[in-house]
Amino acid sequence: MGERDLEAQLQRLESLTRDELAAEWVQAHGVPAPRKASRELLLKAVAHHLQVQVYGGVKPSTRKMLLRIAEQLRSGAPVTELPAAPPEIRPGARLIRAWHGENHEVVVAPDGRYQWRGEQHGSLSSIATAITGTRRNGPAFFGLRQEEP
């Protein structure tokens, strides 16, 4: 399934009843949907499943970290491993990254969006993807946090 197919599938889900979404849940997960799950929850769960098929799921390193945090919470132990908060970037800040011999400058706009090559972007990741041609973590690409292994 490609991105266009995904979009069509997501639109199709919007028109389904709760019972039809429960049947989609069974197809996606191989078990009956929870009896008391609302239509909205089933819609989100099935949509998430379809998106994971197209874009992939949580990175194994992130999954391991979340499982360790959950275990610490269950045991009552203090949580020792929390993800670092992204640094605050103030309006007017300039982020510069060299990529394949070309410098790319991003300016943080007053509304929190990002300007690159005269275009507005809602995230650093969309700019990093445009620069590299592959999906990238924008804050990591611009050196604002370490990239996961």
How would you write the pLDDT of the chain (149 residues) with one tens digit per residue?
Answer: 777 788 899 999 999 999 999 999 999 999 999 999 999 999 999 999 999 988 888 888 888 988 988 998 999 888 877 766 666 788 899 999 999 899 999 999 988 899 999 999 999 999 999 999 988 888 889 888 755 44
Sequence-distant (≥ 6) Cβ neighbours of residue 104 within 8 angstroms: 96, 97, 98, 116, 127, 131
Enter the pTM of the model: 0.50
Are the C-beta atoms of 66 and 77 separated by less than 8 Å?
no
